[in-house]
A and B are shown apart, each in its own frame.
Chain A
Amino acid sequence: MSRSSQNRRNKKGGTKASKRRSWLIIGLVFGLIFTGCAVTSVLVGRQVLDAIFQREAITENAAALTWAADSADLTVAVSPVMAPILAQRVDAFNSLSQRTTDGQTMQVVLTELAPEKMVETSLGQPPFQALVPDSSLWLNQIDQRWAADHPADSGGIAPRRVGDPTRFAISPIVLAAWEDTARSLGWPDAPVGWAEIQRKAISDPNFKWNHPNTQHATGLLATLAEFYAGAGLTRGLTAEIANQQSVLDYVRDVEATVRFYGEGEDVIVQRLDEEGRDFLDAFVAQEQTVIRWNESHGSRDRLIALYPKEGTLWTDHPLALLELGEPGETAVTDNQRRTFAAFGEFLLSSESQGAFLAAGYRPADVGIDLSASGSPFAGTDAVDPSQPKTTLQIPSAQVVEVVQNVWYYTKRPTNVYLVVDTSGSMAGEKMDRTRTALQSFVSQIQGDRDKVGIVEFGSGVKRFEPLRTLNDGGRNQMLDVIAGMEADGYTALLDAVWQAQDDLQTVADGEAINAIVVMTDGQENDSYRDMADLRRSFEDSRTPVVVFTIAFGNDADDDLLEELARIGGGQFRRADETDIEELYRILSTYF
C-alpha cells in the first residue's frame, strides 16, 4: 500500500469518524431538544387538559343555576303587589347603566313570586339573588328554617340565609270598605276592628268580604286576627292556643263567610273594576290600594281604610340579599353585591321615594311629610297617616307556620271540577303541559275537606271522575287519571260544563266554595247542550257555582269562554304552553 493511499485511507477514516461524532452530537442535541419539548408539551398539555376538565365540570353542572364570577346582573324576586311600581323603578335604574369598578354594567331583573313561594325557593337553589317579599316576617321564616337545617356548631351563633334588608316603602294593612259599609260599621265616629267585620260576616248573609290566602301578608294577617279573636287575645298566641277546638270552630265560622281567597288585592281591584261595587263589601288590603283606587275612581265609589282597633300588621317590602354560596351553589358575586347596594341606594333616592309616595306608599325616607300639600295622604279622610295606633302581636315564625297549616283545615272547603279539553287538537306538547299543570293544581289543593273532580271531554264527555276528597289515596287516584289523559276527538265543551254544574247542584254543598275550572284550546263543535241551557242552569241554581275559564292558545273561542265566566261569576284567563302550569297554580290559590 502506498503512503499516499494510506494517507488517503487514514484521512477517509478520520473524516468518517469525525462525521460519526458530529452526527452523534447532533443526535444528542436533537434528543435533548425533543426531550425538552416533550416535557414542555406534557406540562402545558396538562394545563390545557385541566382547563378542559374544568369546563366539563361546569357543563355537567349546567343544570344548577349559575352565573359568571364577575356578573353584575341581579335577579330580584318580588311579591305581586309591589311588582308594578318596582318594575318602573328597575327600568329607571337600568337606564342609568351604572358600572362596577371593573367595568360591568349593573342590571336588575325582576321575577314575580308569591311571598310564601319565595320562602320555599330561597331554601333551595333559588333562581334569584335578592328578594322583596311583602313583609319582613317571610325573611324571618327563611332564616329560622335555614338555621334549623344548618345548626351552628356547639350552640354557636346560627348562620343566616338573608342579609340585612333595606326598606324603601311601607304600607299598613287595612280593611278596605265602601264608604257606606264603613259608616254602617261605625266609621268615622267609632274605631272598627276585626271583631266587627267577623261579627257582621257571620250575622249578615248578604255581607261579602274577602282576604287573600295565607301566602300573602294581607291574608296571613287576616287569618291571625281571626285566631286572636277566636282565642279572645291580642297577644301571646301560641301553637297550643291556635289548635284549641273552640278557636278552630270560631275561625271555621268566620272563614265560611269569605267569598273566595285568590291571588291578592291587585286581582280584587281588577274584579271591582269589572263588576262594580256589588262584587264585595269589604276586603283586606294595603292602605296603598285604597289610595290608588280612590285616585282613579274619584269620590263616587270611595273606599275607606279602616285601621283595625285591635291592631294590624305592616307590609314593609324589605329588599334583602340572599347569602348564597353553600357547597354546590353559585355564590353571589362581588359585582352582584355592588348592584344590590346601588339599587338599594337608588330606591332611597328622592326621585324613587317621590315615586313611591305618588303610588300611595309611605316612603321610607321619614323626612317626607305625609300630610304635606300634594301628598296623596293630604286632604282626604279615606286614609289617616297618624294610624295605626297599635299592632297585633305577630307571633314567632313557628307559630305563624302553625297558623298557616291549621288554616287549611279551617278555611272554607272547596268542591272544584276540572273540565279539561282532550280533543285531537290538544295532541303533543299541549297535552303534556296540561297534564303537568293539572297535576300541579291537584298537588296545591291542601285542605282535607277539599274535593276535586274531573270532566274530560272530546267527542262528548270521555271521562267523568266525581268529586273526591284529596287525602293521600284520593290525590294519587286523581294524579293517575290525569296521567292517563290522551288527546283525540271533537270538542263537546258545553256538555262537559253542564255535567260538572249538574253534579255540583246534586251535591248541593252550600258550605263549600263550588267551582268549575274550564280549559279548552278550540271551538265548541260537538255538544248536545247550548249556551242558553247553561245560562238557565246557572240562573236557576240553588247552590252558587263560580266558573273560571282558560283559553289555551290562539284558537280557543274567547267570546264563549268570556260569556261562561260571566254567567258563572268567575274569571276568564288566557294561557299558552309556557304559562299554563303557573295559571293553574294561581287558580288553586282561590280555593
Chain B
Amino acid sequence: MNRTRLIFISIIAVAVLIVAGSLIWRSATGTPVDAGLTVERPETVTVRVIVALPVEPWVRDAAERFNAANKQVEGSQVQVEIIAMDGLTALGRWDRNDFGALPADTTPDQISEAQQAELADFPTAWIPDSRYLVELANASYKERLGRDVFLTDGQYRARPIAISLFTWGIYASRADVLQEALGEISWETIHQAATTAGGWPALGGDSAWGFFKLAVPDPSKNVGGLAAMIAAAGEYYGRTDISVEDVTDPEFQQWLGELMGAVTNISGGSAYTAEDFALFGYSVGDGGQLLESDLLQNMQGVLTRWEDPLVIRYPEFVTWFDFPFTVWVGPETSALEKNAALEFQRYLLSEDEQAAALASGLRPANPDVAVTASDDSLFVKWADQGVQQVVPRTTAMRSPNRDVLLALLRWYELNVTK
C-alpha cells in the first residue's frame, strides 16, 4: 500500500472517530443530539401574556394593533399572544407551579429536548388585577426557588398599565328608594337592606323587586369578589389594615354572612358581575360594589336592555386595582422574549393606547393622558350617572396579606358555597 492510500484511509478513520467520539460525549453529557452550535436568532419571537379579565378586552385589541405593526426587537418580529385569566386563578396556577417553572439552579440547557418543548408555552409576562397578587406569587416562589420571579425594581420591574377602583353600582330606581329609606349608600346601608325581612316592599320599593339582591363576583373566580369582602371589612372596622383576626372574628363573620345571604346565584356565581347587570338586569342584582371600569363598560348595555340606568357612588374605603405589567425573570423565557415583552409594555403605555383604554372605562396609568383625553371617554359620557373624573377624598385599603385572603376564601367556601 502506498503512502497516499494510507493517508487517505487514516483521514477517514480519524473523521469517523471524531464523529463517534462527539456522539459519545453528547450522549454522556445529555447534550441534545441535534442542538445547534450557533446562536439562533428566530424570525419571530412570541410573547405570551396572561391578562386579568377587566383589562383583557383593551389589551387584546392593543395586541392586535401591535402585531399588525410588525414591531421588531433585536432583529426578530414580535408577536403577542393574550391569555385571559382571572388574577386569582393565575395566582393559584403560579402557586401550584402549573406552568412548569424549573427547579432552582436548573437552566434550560440542562434539561431534555422534551422538557424544553414544554417550556415553549411558558408565560412571558403577567398582568394581574393588582400588585399584591404579584407579591403573593413572588412569596410563593421565594419559598420554592429562593428568589423573586417578578421584580419590583430595575428594567423588568412591574409597571401599572391602567388603574381602576371599586365603586357602588346600583340601579337608579333602587338607589332612590334605598337612599330615601336608609341614607347614603355604604356597606352598612346595604347590610340593612339585605337583612330587611320584608324585602323591597318593606323598604318602600316595588313588591315585584322581591328581596334586595347583592351583586358580588364569586371570590373563587374573580379577585374582585375578595376585594369587595376586604372593603366591607374595612368599613366594618373603620380602618384600612385588615388582619386574619379581623376576618375570623365571629361577630364580623355573622355580619358578612348576613350580607352574603343577599347574593342571588351562589351556585352559578359569575366572574363578570357588571356584565351580568347588563345581561340579566335587576333580576340578579339590585346593586353591588364592583370595579368602576366594568361598570362603565356596561352602562350603555344596561340602559339599552333594561331602560333603568345604573348610578355610581364612591365608597369611603376604596380598593384600587393597578394592573401591573410584570415580566417573568426566570430562565424559562429567553432574554429576547423578555425584551420583546418590554416592547409591548412600552406600547401599552403609549399615549394612543392609554387613550384607547379610556373607552374601556380604565383610568390611564400614563400621567400625560387625562381621563377626558379621548372623545369616547366613558368618564365624560357617564358623568351624569355619578362617575367622577377625580376620585373624591377617600381612604385607600391596604393590600391584605396571603393569610387574610386565604381565610376569607375559606370562610366563603364553608359558609356560602356549602
Chain A interface (Cβ < 8 Å from any Cβ of B)? 22, 25-26, 29, 32-33, 35-37, 39-40, 43, 47, 101, 135-137, 139-141, 143-144, 152-153, 155-160, 164, 167, 170, 172, 191, 234-236, 309-312, 314, 316, 334, 362, 364, 366-370, 385-391, 393-400
Contacts and interface: CB of A to CB of B under 8 A. Distances in A.
Contacts of A158: 92, 220, 413
Interface stretch (B263-271, B335-343, B371-379): B263-271
Contacts of B10: 29
Interface in B1-41: 1, 6, 9-10, 12-13, 16-17, 19-20, 23-24, 27, 33
Interface in B179-223: 206, 208-211, 213, 220-221
Contacts of B261: 235-236
A25 B1 contact: yes
B254 interface: no
B300 A367 contact: yes
Given A390-B208, A393-B265, 12 more contacts: A137-B265, A144-B417, A152-B92, A153-B96, A164-B85, A234-B210, A310-B210, A386-B306, A391-B265, A397-B417, A398-B417, A399-B267
B358 interface: no
B305 A390 contact: no
Contacts of B307: 386
A308 to B, nearest CB: 11
B278 interface: yes
Given A40-B20, A366-B279, A366-B305, A155 B406 contact: yes
Contacts of A316: 268, 279-280
B330 interface: no
Nearest to A369: B304
Q: Which of B12, B98, B265, B416 counts the most chain A CB atoms within 10 A?
A: B265
A393 B416 CA distance: 12
Contacts of A144: 417
A187 to B, nearest CB: 14
A467 B33 CA distance: 71
A394 B283 contact: no
Contact of B267 (A29, A33, A314, A394): A394
A22 B5 CA distance: 10
Contacts of A388: 283
Contacts of B86: 164
A190 B53 CA distance: 42
B240 interface: no
Contacts of A32: 13, 16-17
23 contacts: A25-B6, A26-B1, A43-B23, A139-B268, A141-B267, A157-B89, A159-B92, A164-B86, A172-B283, A236-B261, A310-B210, A311-B264, A364-B279, A366-B279, A366-B302, A366-B304, A370-B305, A385-B305, A386-B307, A390-B210, A394-B267, A398-B417, A400-B267
Given A136-B268, A156-B96, A393-B266, A366 B208 contact: no
Given A140-B267, A236-B261, A396-B417, A191 B306 contact: no
Q: Main SS of chain B's interface residues? A: helix
A394 B16 contact: no
Q: 8 tightest A-B contacts by CB?
A: A366-B301, A157-B92, A390-B210, A36-B16, A136-B268, A137-B268, A366-B278, A22-B1
A456 to B, nearest CB: 44
A368 B417 CA distance: 34
Interface residues on B, range: 35 or more
Contact of B268 (A47, A140, A236): A140
A396 B16 contact: no
B3 to A, nearest CB: 11
A396 to B, nearest CB: 5
Contacts of A137: 265, 267-268
B252 to A, nearest CB: 20
A502 B275 CA distance: 58
A39 B264 contact: no
B320 interface: no
Given A25-B1, A366-B278, A389 B409 contact: no
A396 B417 CA distance: 5
Contact of A157 (B17, B271, B409, B417): B409
Nearest to A144: B417
Nearest to A156: B95
A395 B1 CA distance: 95
A243 to B, nearest CB: 15
A141 B220 CA distance: 13
B24 A43 contact: yes
A309 B20 contact: no
B296 to A, nearest CB: 13
A389 B208 CA distance: 6
B19 A389 contact: no
Contacts of B24: 39, 43
A366 B280 contact: no
B84 interface: yes
B267 A160 contact: no
Nearest to B222: A164
A564 B356 CA distance: 67
A394 B269 CA distance: 9
A391 B264 contact: yes
Nearest to B302: A366
Contacts of A37: 16
A264 B343 CA distance: 53
B283 A395 contact: no
Contacts of A157: 88-89, 91-92, 95, 406, 409
Nearest to B14: A32
B393 interface: no
Contact of B19 (A36, A311, A368): A36
A159 B79 CA distance: 30
A172 B89 CA distance: 29
Given A137-B268, A164-B86, A369-B304, A314 B210 contact: no
A368 B270 CA distance: 22
A287 to B, nearest CB: 12
Contacts of B65: none
Nearest to A310: B210
Contacts of B211: 234-235, 390
Contacts of B88: 157
Contact of B265 (A40, A368, A394): A394
A40 B19 contact: yes
A329 to B, nearest CB: 14
B198 to A, nearest CB: 12
B269 A140 contact: yes
Contact of B9 (A26, A35, A391): A26
A459 B211 CA distance: 65
Contacts of A170: 279-280
Contacts of A362: 279
Contacts of A153: 96
B148 to A, nearest CB: 19
A37 B10 CA distance: 15
B237 to A, nearest CB: 24
A33 B406 CA distance: 67
B364 to A, nearest CB: 25
Interface in B308-333: none
B33 A164 contact: no
Interface in B366-394: none
A79 B261 CA distance: 30
Nearest to A191: B208
Nearest to A143: B220
